[in-house]
Amino acid sequence: MKAKSLLLLLNSPNDVVVKLDGSIYFTDPPYGISKEKEELGFYGIYTLKPNGTLSLLSKEMVRPNGIAFSPDEKKLYVDDSEKLNIRVFDVKSDGTLANSKIFAALSGSTDKGVPDGMKVDVKGNIYCSGSGGVWIFSPTGQLLSKIMVPEVVTNLAWGDPNHKTLYITAGKGIYRIRLKIPGLTGAVI
């Protein structure tokens, strides 16, 4: 299959998640580019539909970064690396977003990490990088636990055949931890 080239004005597309219908949702912060190379003057959350239609869904966040769906795809979580929080949106039937609100705050020294990579498990718990490691929140936003990591965490991925291993990328290393709840690798309807 040959990749199609799209001519778009974007800053620096970063994290991505795909819905079961094939729609791609992604964040567009300014990471990796200078202020002079930014093309838009804001940072957004976008969707690219299977028919090729690109839509800006939100530009209210300062530094949108990690992005993940709830298991039923009715909620979209996006973390803000500068505001040190996770925002949650309702996903409407047409794929647009509504009812934005702060889901959780991640305090702590930014020298030890910021909200960046994010994943969800099959029970809807949210795993997000943050100060000191990986923060785990319940679907209601309650902090359940933290996985302490000796380096600044940058991203997360589920692995192994049963998806019970969380792989963690950090400054100079890759870490893994076996968990009791499998990670979400596709929506559960």
pLDDT score for 189? 38
pLDDT score for 8? 64
Show the CA angle centred on residue 36, arms to residues 29 and 56, nearest 5°.
35
SS3 breakdown of the chain: % helix, strand, coil, rounded to 5? 5, 45, 50
Does the structure show a pLDDT above 50 at 55?
Answer: yes
CATH architecture of 16-178: 6 Propeller (2.120)
Query: What backbone phi and psi angles, to 5 degrees, belong to 37?
Result: -95, -5
Does the structure show a pLDDT above 70 at 89?
Answer: yes
pLDDT score for 39? 73
Q: What is the DSSP string of 68-91?
A: EE-TTSSEEEEEETTTTEEEEEEE
105 — pLDDT class (breaks 50, 70, 90): very high
- How confident is the model over 9-44, as pLDDT tens digits? 788 788 999 999 999 999 998 877 777 777 777 889
Task: State pTM to two decimals.
Answer: 0.91
127 — pLDDT class (breaks 50, 70, 90): very high
Mean pLDDT throughout 56-76? 96
Does the structure show a pLDDT above 50 at 118?
Answer: yes
Does the structure show a pLDDT above 60 at 5?
Answer: no
Mean pLDDT throughout 60-80? 96
- For the chain, the domains span 16-178
The closest of 1, 39, 4 to 24, measured between CA atoms, is: 4
